[in-house]
Structure 1
């Protein structure tokens, strides 16, 4: 388990998109992270905290 810190320039949304091989839009900054072409997907299910 790694800690993702926005203060250090990291993005939990980008990490989730990369790990799942999905396309996810970060509502905080509007950036879309698209890793749908990634071949080796580690995890496909993502669980978000309630009201996140």
Structure 2
């Protein structure tokens, strides 16, 4: 039961990170024009990796 709650929470966090990334896209594009990168992709990759490791394996 706890693992289901944990996976659901990670899924919600993953979805939230995607929404934040989409919402921050104009800011990221403007920052890139100024020569600065915003590391949103690292946050998304980290959350995705943790979420993927919690998925049950089909044996």
Say whether the fold is shared (TM-score over 0.5): no
Higher helix share: 2
> Which protein is richer in strand relative to its size?
1
- TM (norm. structure 2) is 0.26
Which structure has the larger Rg over C-alpha atoms?
2
